[in-house]
Structure 1
Amino acid sequence: MERTARKTWRRTVTVLALALVVLGGATLVAWAMDAGPFRQRSYCWGAWQEGSGPQVLGDDFARTAEESGTPQRGEQASCVMAFGVPGTEEMRHVDPTVRGDAPGAQETAGGHRLVARVGPPPRSTGQPRRAWLAEALYGNAAPLPEGMPGVVGRDRGTLVLPEECDSGDVPMVVTVRSEGSVPELDSEREVADLLLSLANAAREKAGCAQGESSRITAPVRTAQQEETYRGGRPSCRVPGMRIEPRRGTLGGYASTVWERLQICSLELSDKNQDVIARGQFVMTSHPRLTALFAGMAGDRSPGAGWRGKGRVAGGNGLVIAECRGRPTVFSLHLDEELEQGAEPDSRRVFARSANSVAERLGCPAVGPRG
């Protein structure tokens, strides 16, 4: 009887041991395959995975996200990932809802948010496109390294996807923007990593992931801080761009100065530091970036003394002219108060600005001299 009991006990122990071995092996397999209870969460179409590198995806933050649409060629898709310190008031009242279509829409509603957008620029070649460009190519960002068609700062990034993702001649663009009481993330490199992960996920979802994945091996430049332009100092460090507003303080961001891309964003602030007028200057000869301006120049000369095709009217000027064998965009937009402060007028400020940049590049003048 006692011997039978010992045998039964041994069999039970053996079965339990084998069960534990099997369970342990299954657990290890699940962990190795990133499945089961060890699976790390991902956000925004699988682009951003917990623990993948950027601090915003690390253990210090809690996250929740909401998607609107799926990346497709020619279509718009959005995702908002709200994040904050676990257990805090801001994380109890987060709102990851996607609202509005413009990338610059003010969407903050508690906590911090990463707003990801995938899709083409607005098809309208007027104010909607200009507003989109002002946000996507903001001056407080540096060009991505290795000739990639995009820019990155500590609070936003923009990347134009390869031609395989185009819808007709309309490019597909991914943008990331951080919003909240302290919108800056840890570094430009962190934003670049988030941007490229989003780009790769968007290409996969849209069925245009041919070729190599988007990646960066070179260092990412640091964006410059805001500059102030007083006492007749040329704006944007561009000789000829003389803007003397009747009131307020004129500042700008001119981080991107490269032979294929130059961007400056202007902001006129009142005594309360509220922005009352904005402006933007862009030069680019990168084919993927010039595609963002498609349809805006028209098919006629702006007038006597101008090279290329374009339109110059009021505070808006855009010309596409050949420079060093490449079609090159020269663009200037000034809100009304900045247009009124252009010396001697906005048309000549645009011509002088475009000519000074063309000269820097070793190209003939774009607009009339004088």
Structure 2
Amino acid sequence: MSDGGNGVESGGESRTDTDTDTSAGPGAGTEGVGGDSGGGVGVGGGVTGRRVRSRARWVAGAVAGAVLVSGIGLWATDTWPFRDTYCWGAWQQNSGAYFLGEKALGTSGSERKATESAPPSADRPDATCTVTVNSTVPDDDADEPLRFKERVTVDYGPVPESAEKRRAWIARNFHGSVSPLPDGLTGLVGTDRAMLVLPEKCDTADRPSVVTLRTESRGDGHLGKVFPPFAMGTRTEVAQMLLDVADATMRQAGCAPSAPLSMTSPLITVAEKEQSAARPLCRIPGVTFDLGEEYRFRQQVGTVGDRLQTCSMVWSTLGVPDEPAAQYVMAGEPRLAAIFDGLPEGAAHGLVHAMCDGRRTAFYGHVDPGGQGRGVPDDQQVFENFTRSVSRRIGCDTGNDNR
């Protein structure tokens, strides 16, 4: 699975550049309609022939006119087939989420474009698609305009193989801001990211295959570059985007279930907003870091359930993307727990397993360079405290399957 944001440069990709300026739409659909309206009718000469030919021309002209008017009506009301589609046909322009609608193109210089790789297949299990909105806004304080870019990247494929890339992937997709998907769907969704673990028959090289959505943004003006966060839509809208693109890619890869994925139950949203990192972190007993007076460490208390618990700490600096500092996860759903398989195990590596109510459950902790060495009394003991606290809360023994 591609980990970088620019995996779309792979060979064999097809490119669709879409702009909401669709002024060529109606004209393009009408040129060929009346093109053979002047053909003969196969009737002999004379007045009767002329009348038949005249009537044929009138009928053909009327049909062409009706098609033209109908086409203009469809185009003017933004109705299929004049909507742009993105990411192997999974999404349509104005199909629900904010990022796919007209509001995302609120400025006169905005355009939406998509670039996609070849779709996934049994022989080529990785695929990437990006949808980008570029905007230009006049800058009252400079001659050059302000330029903004908002991008959504879709990745399909197995979770990363290397430990370093897998941990970075976990930090992004198990962030404390995400909510678990309902209705038996194994995945997580936020307004700026989402992840779905696919059925086991989609696995590649003994690793779970996943579909992920992630956002990136950049603003460039006289004050320099900034990276403001943005939301694709509401959690429910983003979840539907995720399911739509998962269905499309699984069909291409030949591992789709018999019925399309669906979600009818409401999402349980995270109750708390990001806040300054506290002692203990995320209110988990024993998960304590010595952060001094540094105010740029922020924590996100995530989901706290019997089968999933998440806690994130980041290093936050104004104008640049947050940097992961520490991540703690308890995953008891079998397909979520499988994401951690293959990583080095043991308390020294921040990964142990336990049998909890008959389920093999993963307890994971990772401290990135920005937070390393700040654990009290040390980083490994903090992980062991996390494991002990959470396992007691959900009623399991980490000594049963500590492999």
What range is the shorter-chain TM-score in?
0.7 to 0.9
1:188/1:221 contact within 8 Å kept = no
Partner of 2:157: 119
Partner of 1:242: 288
Change (3 A) 1:209 1:116: same
Q: Distance in 2 between matches of 1:274 and 1:320?
A: 32
- 2:312 corresponds, among 262, 265, 274, to 265
Structure 1 length-normalised TM: 0.77
- Root-mean-square deviation (CA, aligned residues, Å) is 3.3
1:40-79 Cα deviation digits (max 9, x unpaired): 2211111111232223222443421111342235732111
Within 5 Å, which residues of 2 pair with 1:275-294?
278-294=325-341
Partner of 1:106: none
Q: How much identity, in percent, do the aligned residues show?
A: 36
- 1:218 corresponds, among 265, 281, 288, to 265
Question: Unpaired runs of 5+ in structure 1?
Answer: 91-108, 298-309
The DSSP-based 3-state class of the residue aligned with 2:371 is helix
1:284-306 Cα deviation digits (max 9, x unpaired): 01111111111114xxxxxxxxx
1:246 is displaced (CA, Å) by 3.9
1:326 and 2:326 aligned: no
1:135-172 Cα deviation digits (max 9, x unpaired): 12222211112232111111010111111211242111
1:303-342 Cα deviation digits (max 9, x unpaired): xxxxxxx3222xx410011111110000000124533221
Q: Distance in 2 between matches of 1:347 and 1:8?
A: 96
Within 5 Å, which residues of 2 pair with 1:25-104?
38-60=81-103, 61=105, 62-73=111-122, 75-84=125-134, 88=136
Q: Distance in 1 between matches of 2:251 and 2:323?
A: 41
1:255/1:264 contact within 8 Å kept = yes
Question: Unpaired runs of 5+ in structure 2?
Answer: 1-45, 106-110, 139-146, 218-227
Change (3 A) 1:116 1:37: closer
1:103-137 Cα deviation digits (max 9, x unpaired): xxxxxx9521111111111112x212111111122
Partner of 1:229: 277
Change (3 A) 1:8 1:276: closer
Q: Distance in 2 between matches of 1:29 and 1:344?
A: 71
Q: How many positions carry a matched residue from both structures?
A: 324
Change (3 A) 1:111 1:272: closer
Change (3 A) 1:186 1:22: same
Which shows bigger deviation, 335-344 or 158-167?
335-344
Which shows bigger deviation, 276-285 or 71-80?
71-80
Change (3 A) 1:265 1:202: same
Change (3 A) 1:271 1:120: closer
Structure 2 length-normalised TM: 0.71
2:354/2:398 contact within 8 Å kept = no
The DSSP-based 3-state class of the residue aligned with 1:83 is strand
Partner of 2:255: 208
Which shows bigger deviation, 65-74 or 235-244?
65-74
